[in-house]
Each structure stands twice: as C-alpha cells, then as structure tokens.
Amino acid sequence: MPAVLTQPPPTAPNPAPPHDREPWSEIDRLPADAVLDIPADLGWYSVAKIAFDYGAALAMLPLALVLMAFAALAVKITSPGPVFYTQTRVGLNGRKYKIIKIRSMRLNCEAASGIQWSQKGDPRITRVGRFLRITHIDELPQLFNVLLGHMSLVGPRPERPEVIQAKGLNQLVPGYRHRLRVKPGVTGFAQVQLPADTDVTSVRYKVVYDLYYVEHQSLLLDLRLVAATLFRAGPKTLRRLFLLPSRRKVAAGFLANVVPPTGTHPVAVLQPA
C-alpha cells in the first residue's frame, strides 16, 4: 500500500499569483491542506541512477574545475570575502547537509536583508555573481556534493530549512514533503521550466514539476534535462527541443495523486495534452 502523506492545517489562505505570472488555475485552486498519495515504488532507476550521478559528475569535473578556477579568481578580485561558501540544505528524507557553491552575493548580505528569496534585480548580487548565476557556473561546486552522495545531478532544488520554516512551505504547498523522496539535484525539471522561487505560489508551481519527476525519473529524462540546462532557451522552446512533458500533462499527473477529502467527489483530473 502506498503511504499517504498528511499535512498540518494551513496557516494562511492560498496566495494569489502576481499579475506578471502566467496563472495555473488547476493548481491555484487546490487547497493548501490537500493530501497527495504518491506510489511507494519509484522504480528501478531510483537506485540505478547512483551510477549515472557518479559517472556524469566525474566526466564533468575536469572542465568544471577549469571554470571554477576562473570564477574563483573573478570573485576574489571583485568582491571582499571568501570565494566559496557552504549552506545547510534539506536533502533526501529530510536529512540536512552542507551545499557547496561559489559566492555570487555580497558577504553577509542577509545580516541586513534577513532571510529572503532572491528577486529580479536583487541588489545583493554582485556584478560577477550575476554572470555566474546566468551561466550556472556558481552551481558547479555541487558536483562535489554529488560525489559525496548528498545530491543527484538531476532532482528537485534543495531548500534551506530556515526558509521552509519561515515561509510555511510544508503547510502551504501541497505535496511539498514528497520532494524529499529523492535526492535534490544540481538541476531539475522545475529548474528548467520555471524561474527561481520568489514567493509561495512559485514554490507551489515548482512542486508540481518536482513530483512529476519523482514519479517518472528515468535515464532518458535525466539526459534530456541535463541537455536542457546547458541550452539557453525559454521553457516552451526547451519542451519542443527535448520532448519534455507539457504543462497540462504535468498538472494532470499531479492532480491524479490528490486524495479527495472524505465525503466529497473525486478531484477532477485533466487529460494529458
């Protein structure tokens, strides 16, 4: 029997998406206390992908080391403070680990701003850091996290425990805990299809893609997502080029796992496009 994950009552009403974001009505109208039932058996690849992670990380490491060396020099010259930093993130089954990244923000910037997601035009990001983020070079040290077994090459984006608590993500985002049934990834389905998190609604949207990946992970999907990460293009272009599932199909899969409350009609499930 697949395990049913319950969630505590929501602490706030469903957030409305900003006017500049494409609404996702099927997800927006889902209550924050919705319960999801994800299959217990995630398939053979959930174990076999360890070999893919190690092999791909080792293959990428020589070029990554060269790029990290240039990035480290640029950060050291243009910004006071250490080049690399570690930060606690939540990984597989809720275990915490230290992520390794190249610093792209001013030193101790959260001392003034407090805990917050990065926003468009974030003044905390340095000029060099902006380039590192656009090119994803700041993420390359996470290959060591992959080799240490903390992360996969492909998976949901890891979040800080203090952000999860401060933003109430376990209470406000249906299925959020199910993301932790696989290792977090350096890249992932949600990362190549949606912009960085800016609010609770953006997290709700990303979890839909994360849980699609959790259920449908495969070597072919991982290879397509890695290629899509390296290819600079918009989400629709990436879907066409790398044959990624449509937004409608992803939503249909998510809603199919929603457990209807007792005494109500079953949740309507969309037909895949």
pLDDT in tens, 39-49: 888 889 988 99
> How many C-beta atoms lie closer than 10 Å to residue 266's C-beta?
8
> What is the per-residue pLDDT for 106?
87
Strand partners, 27: none
SS (H, E, C) the chain: CCCEECCCCCCCCCCCCCCCCCCCHHHHCCCCCCEEECCCCCCCHHHHHHHHHHHHHHHHHHHHHHHHHHHHHHHHHHCCCCCEEEEEEECHHHCEEEEEEECCECCCCHHHHCCCCCCCCCCCECHHHHHHHHHCHHHCCHHHHHHCCCCEEECCCCCCHHHHHHHCHHHHCCCHHHHHHCCCEEECHHHHHCCCCCCHHHHHHHHHHHHHHHHHCCHHHHHHHHHHHHCCCCHHHHHHHHCCCCHHHHHHHHHCCEECCCCCCCCCCCCCC
> How many C-beta atoms lie closer than 10 Å to residue 96's C-beta?
12
Lowest mean pLDDT among 33-37, 48-52, 118-122, 199-203: 118-122
The pair of structure tokens assigned to 121 is 């035009």
Q: How many residues does the chain have?
A: 273
Question: Which pTM does this prediction carry?
Answer: 0.86
Q: How confident is the model at residue 21 (pLDDT cuts 50, 70, 90)?
A: low
> What is the per-residue pLDDT for 62?
97
73 pLDDT above the threshold of 60: yes
* pLDDT more than 70, % of the chain: 87
> What is the per-residue pLDDT for 90?
97
189 pLDDT above the threshold of 50: yes
> What is the per-residue pLDDT for 120?
78
15 pLDDT above the threshold of 70: no
- Measured CA to CA, the distance from residue 269 to residue 260 in angstroms comes to 11
